[in-house]
Amino acid sequence: MPLTDKYGRPITDLRISITDRCNYKCVYCRTGTDGPAYAELTFDEYLRMAHLFVDLGITKIRLTGGEPLLRNGLVNFVRDLAKLRTANGTPPDIALTTNGHLLADLAQPLKDAGLHRVTVSLDAVEPDLFARITRVPKGFDKVIAGIRAARRAGLDPVKVNCVLLRGFNENQIVPLGKFAREEGVVVRFIEFMPLEEDRAWSPEKVVTLKEIVDTLSAYRQLVEISHERSETAKKYRFDDGIGEIGIIAPVSMPFCGQCSRVRITSDGKIRTCLFSVWDHDLYELMRRDATDADCAVFIEDVIAKKEARHHIGEPDFVPASRTMVHIGG
């Protein structure tokens, strides 16, 4: 019986942020001057949390940050996560979200340790524009090498995330569509959400699902394909069957009704929604020598209180208590 919130949504996906440090300063995420703000736990502490959640019915674990590849010991942590067993006796589905800068050397060891799939952020396929977005010089070639190494290692699927910001990189829609076709990766466009550090979001900056579909269709016809109920992305293929595109549209087409996610921040707090205005301190409970049974009751209570939905763009919108880099996307 999976964890279920009070709206009847089964909660099956856990995201664990293992650091809020990042080696990129993407314009839609960070100020460029602020650094990490929260503590990091030991991998044993995250492992205990993962174990608790898997015992409660979590079947998918995504490691994120900040930039998760900055943490030494990640490969061993993945190996330990792969030893956990879900209710049907299989390991959890283990995924990673990364900016890809350090992936080229780590893709194979991570795959060997039990990582199943990877999502790499790539907001432009032009090196100069990529450097202006990430505010780091000469990263582009490293990320491309990381994506290719992930494919070679057999991580499957390799997904590429692109956040579009009007006036900045919406000219990358078609080039990234071509990239999906040429590189055999799933390219996913994400609508810009008000989760950035410098609170620069406005509805006008969001490039919507409809615009993305129209732009790609003018290049080559897109055909919608089916997706799992809890999947965030609407999925498409080009009409010749080559190149998969996903569009994640939390702003223009919210999918909160199907949300199956819960997050743990790098400092061990549970967050039930990206837009939560509070978090729940699982780490503090563990520090006070709570038993696994105590922790399980705490987790079930927290999940029951999961928010119904976000309020992006509505007059009553209250900014989340943390920004994306400090939550874990």
Residue (28 or 43) nearer to ligand SAM, CB: 28
* Distance in Å, CB of 89 to ligand SAM, minimum: 30
Cα gap 77→79, rounded to integer Å: 5
Residue (5 or 191) nearer to ligand SAM, CB: 191
* Distance in Å, CB of 288 to ligand SAM, minimum: 30
* Distance in Å, CB of 242 to ligand SAM, minimum: 24
Note whether 158 and 95 are within 8 A (CB). Answer: no
Q: Give the CB-nearest residue to ligand SAM.
A: 329
Q: What are phi and psi of 62, to 5 degrees?
A: -115, 130
**Spacing of C-alpha 68 from chain mean position:** 11
Residue (193 or 212) nearer to ligand SAM, CB: 193
Q: Which residues pair with 270 in a beta bridge?
A: 264, 280
**Cβ neighbours, 10 Å, residue 240:** 10
Residue (59 or 97) nearer to ligand SAM, CB: 97
For 166-199, the three-class secondary structure string (H helix, E strand, C coil) is CCCCHHHHHHHHHHHHHHCCEEEEEECCCCCCCC
* Distance in Å, CB of 87 to ligand SAM, minimum: 28
Strands 117-121 and 93-98: parallel
Q: What is the dihedral of CA 172, 180, 261, 27, to 10 degrees?
A: -30
Residue (65 or 268) nearer to ligand SAM, CB: 65
- Which positions lie near ligand SAM, rule CB under 6 A? 22, 28-29, 64-65, 67, 97-99, 121, 161, 163, 190, 192-193, 195-196, 324-325, 329
The string of DSSP codes covering 279-327 is -EEHHHHHHTT--HHHHHHHHHHHHHT--S---TTSTT----SS-HHHH
- Tokens 């390991």 identify what position? 91
What separation in angstroms does the CA of 260 have from each of 15, 306, 307, 324?
11, 10, 12, 18
Residue (3 or 233) nearer to ligand SAM, CB: 233
Cα gap 10→3, rounded to integer Å: 6
* Distance in Å, CB of 98 to ligand SAM, minimum: 5
* Distance in Å, CB of 263 to ligand SAM, minimum: 11
- Whether omega before 319 lies within 30 degrees of 0, making that bond cis, reads no
* Distance in Å, CB of 46 to ligand SAM, minimum: 16
* Distance in Å, CB of 192 to ligand SAM, minimum: 5
Residue (35 or 294) nearer to ligand SAM, CB: 35
Residue (9 or 310) nearer to ligand SAM, CB: 310
Helical spans, DSSP H, in 189-291:
209-219, 282-287
Residue (246 or 268) nearer to ligand SAM, CB: 246
* Distance in Å, CB of 70 to ligand SAM, minimum: 9
Q: Which 8-state DSSP code applies to residue 65?
A: S
